[in-house]
Amino acid sequence: MKSNVLGAAVLTLLSLCASGTALAQLNGEPYIHDPSTVVYDNGKYYTFGTGGGGLISDDGGWTWHSGAVRTGGGVAPDIIKIGDKFFVAYAVGGGGMSGGHASNVKTMWTKTLDPKSPDFGYHDDSVVASSNGVEDADAIDPAFLYTQGHLWLSYGTYFGFIRVVELDPKTAKRIPGNKPVDVAIDMEASDMMYRDGWYYLLGTHGTCCDGANSTYNLRVGRSRKPTGPFVDNEGIPLLKGGGKLVASASGRHIGLGHFGLLDLGDDVEKFSCHYEADLDRSGRSILDIRPLLWVDGWPVGGDNFQEGMYEIQSQRSGFGLQLDVDFVRMDNGRGRGPGGGGPAAGGPPAGAQAGNGAPRPAGAPGGGGGFNRAPAGPVVPVPNQQLSQVEGTWPTGTVNVNLSDYMVRPNQEWKITPVDGVGGYPGSPYFKIQIAGTERTLAATADGQVVALPAYTGGPEQLWRIDQLTDGTYRIMPKAMPDSSEPVALVAVGASTPTLAKFDPKSDKGRWNFKKP
């Protein structure tokens, strides 16, 4: 197994702005290799890669451009903010190119990542870990974990062991006397997380730097201690090659590696990574930011929300979000068979089942309607209720929305599409949410309610952020509520009543599912 690294600077020089990129890709020119953890500084997101530079997003984390500055060169940096300092770790040497495995991991700090700021500048650039070129280690791909008051650094590649050392969180320099601990083999681009008493060691298996033929994939093991022993879901030690899959190639993206956690709070966790090849971008290596889910105590790579037609289902009540209009009965097809007789629309509910404890009318089970018997004539499909059948009954203008039994009706079908040029959030653009086939647009109101406007006019109250939460449900937030800077989310304040309120991660009220009709 070989390992090596590829300079992002080379990729940047070769990269061209791709047009017509698919939604699953970040916007802009997100070309990078070995990206660091994505960090936020004064209104912008930053990540740094192999070579000397990195990427900046100034629209919330959706559109990325070159422009970040890191000194020292080398490969595969990581970054963390502790107190008022950003500490950067990177490696010089090693990586297996031409067989060299002598390498130094260095750390340095800066007070800001904005290269135009007078406070920008890297200091105290010095070595914190090394490999001598002979031992079973190659000191590249460093990554920080700061938790429980301790700062840990993992590093290494396929040449020998992944190792963990402890640094002083005030300086990011080595704790005096600290010795490296071997924690894994057959891994590179490692990173660590801490959650619920577990330390998680993530890293890539497979081959890198071979474009669409790279087999890079993300694996994880866990331990009660930051120095291991780490084992996977089958109990296989990472020191014997174990590792549970977190994410790998999918769609048009090949070779996923270089995990970095982006914890946005309120149960929204994302991870940054690169793909060795984006087949829609000339096979170049690009940055991505995706949701991180947790299943049975293990991290799982989620997928950013995709445009499409959906039911928006409340996790609290199971009801679907809908335009609050009068229910219109549909032709249930039973008129064709024995015992049928329900009217097509609007008529008395001759075939309806009593939901209030009243005696069942004729046509209901046990009522002699016969709908549970085979039809006397041919079996025929019953068409869905069509928008054209009901739209004329809907009020014009702004209409309230509510939650109700999901019935696959036109007032419950939402078309969700990304909006260009309005920015986004980490990994995704903002969306507009409209009743399918109409211009009726979900919007936040100044009094904290949610309505459907007759048409999309481009206001921030009509743009929605859809973040997947760690349990796989979604949080839905307007870009802005009129006359307010408070972040609010769509919340089922009642089983049938949506509103806008502060998101409570401990409750199902603000959690939603998107289901295909």
Partner 1 sequence: MGRLPPDPKAANVPRTIAPYFTPATAVPKAPDADGFLQRWLLLEPINKPNRSNDVFVGAYVRKAFNTEYFPDQFTVIPQNGDKVTVANQELAWHALDSANFDVKLFRFAYGLNKPTYGVIFWAVTIVNSPREKKNVRMAVGSNSASMWWLNGKDVVDLFDDRRMVMDDVVSNRLTLNKGKNVIRGAVINGPGLSDFCVRFIDENGEPIKDITLSLK
102 binds partner 1 (CB under 8 A): yes
* CB 415, CB 329: distance < 8 Å: no
Which one of 71, 132, 147, 393 is in contact with partner 1 (CB under 8 A)?
132
What whole-number distance in Å separates Cα of residue 392 and Cα of residue 381? 25
With CB under 8 A as the contact rule, the residue among 67, 115, 121, 160 that binds partner 1 is: 160
> Least distance (Å) from partner 1 to the CB of residue 364?
54
The verdict on 322 binding partner 1 (CB under 8 A) reads: no
> CA separation (Å) from 394 to 195, 284, 449, 452?
49, 49, 20, 12
Q: Which is nearer to partner 1, 238 or 469 (CB)?
A: 238
Determine, following the binding rule CB under 8 A, whether residue 105 of this chain makes contact with partner 1. no
Q: Which is nearer to partner 1, 72 or 121 (CB)?
A: 72
Over the window 234 to 273, marking each residue x when it contacts partner 1 by CB under 8 A and - when it does not, the resulting string is --x---xxx-------------------------------
Q: Which of 22, 67, 135, 384 binds partner 1 (CB under 8 A)?
A: 135
Which DSSP string corresponds to 330-353?
---SGGGSTT----SSSS--TTPP
Number of residues assigned to the chain: 517
Of 53, 61, 74, 369, the one binding partner 1 (CB under 8 A) is 74
Strands 53-57 vs 63-69: parallel, antiparallel or unpaired: antiparallel
Q: Which residue has the tokens 């509510």?
A: 402
Distance from CA of residue 298 to its chain's centroid? 16
Binding flag, residue 125, partner 1 (CB under 8 A): no
Which of 99, 149, 177, 357 is in the footprint of partner 1 by CB under 8 A?
99
Name the segment binding partner 1 (CB under 8 A); options: 204-212, 315-323, 332-340, 405-413: 204-212
34/461 with CB nearer partner 1: 34
Contact of 161 with 141, CB cutoff 8 Å: no
Kindly state whether residue 276 participates in binding partner 1, applying the rule CB under 8 A.
no
Total residues contacting partner 1 by CB under 8 A comes to 44
Neighbouring CB atoms inside 10 A of 483's CB total 9
Q: Is 11 helix (H, G, I), strand (E, B) or coil?
A: helix
Element (H, E) at 221: strand 217-223
Read off the tokens for 95: 């990586």
Residue 37 or residue 103: which is nearer to partner 1 going by CB? Answer: 103
What gap in Å lies between CA 144 and CA 81, rounded to an integer?
Answer: 10
**22-61 footprint of partner 1 as x/- string (CB under 8 A):** ----------------------------xx----------
Using an 8 Å Cβ cutoff, are 301 and 269 in contact? no
Residue 154 touching partner 1 (CB under 8 A): no
In the complex, the smallest distance separating the C-beta of residue 74 from partner 1, rounded to whole angstroms, is 6
Which residue, chain included where needed, has tokens 């020292």? 72
Binding test (CB under 8 A) with partner 1, winner from 28, 60, 93, 302:
93
Q: Does 98 bind partner 1 (CB under 8 A)?
A: yes
Question: What number of CA atoms fall less than 13 Å from residue 158's CA on the CB side?
Answer: 15
Burial of 107 (0-12, 13-18, 19+ CB in 10 A): buried
215 binds partner 1 (CB under 8 A): yes
Site membership for partner 1, residue 387 (CB under 8 A): no
Query: At closest approach, how far in Å is the CB of 414 from partner 1?
Result: 45
With CB under 8 A as the contact rule, the residue among 41, 168, 210, 280 that binds partner 1 is 210
User: Which residue's CB is nearer to partner 1, number 212 or number 480?
Assistant: 212
**Strand pairing of 27-28 and 63-69?**
parallel
In the bound state with partner 1, the residue whose beta carbon lies nearer, of 119 and 136, is 136
- Exactly one of 22, 23, 92, 419 binds partner 1 (CB under 8 A); that residue is 92
For residue 373, the surrounding DSSP H or E stretch is: none
Q: Is 136 in the site for partner 1 (CB under 8 A)?
A: yes
With binding defined as CB under 8 A, does residue 283 bind partner 1?
A: no
Three-state DSSP state, 329: coil
φ, ψ for residue 392, nearest 5 deg:
-65, -20
Beta bridge partners of 296: none
CB of 220 to partner 1, least distance (A): 14
Residue closer to partner 1 by CB (options 82, 245) is 245
Does 446 help bind partner 1 (rule: CB under 8 A)? no
Cis check for the bond before 169: say yes or no (omega within 30 of 0): no
**Residues with Cβ < 8 Å from 73, sequence gap 6 or more?**
51, 52, 90, 92
Which position among 31, 48, 159, 305 is part of the footprint of partner 1 (CB under 8 A)?
159
- DSSP structural state of residue 460: G
CB of 221 to partner 1, least distance (A): 12
Is residue 179 a contact residue for partner 1 (CB under 8 A)? no
Tokens of 86: 């950003």
User: Under a CB-based contact definition with an 8 Å cutoff, are residues 286 and 26 in contact?
Assistant: yes
Contact of 28 with 54, CB cutoff 8 Å: no
216 touching partner 1, by CB under 8 A:
no
Instruction: List interacting residues with partner 1 (CB under 8 A).
Output: 1-3, 5, 7, 50-51, 73-75, 92-104, 130, 132-136, 158-160, 185-186, 205-207, 210, 213, 215, 236, 240-242
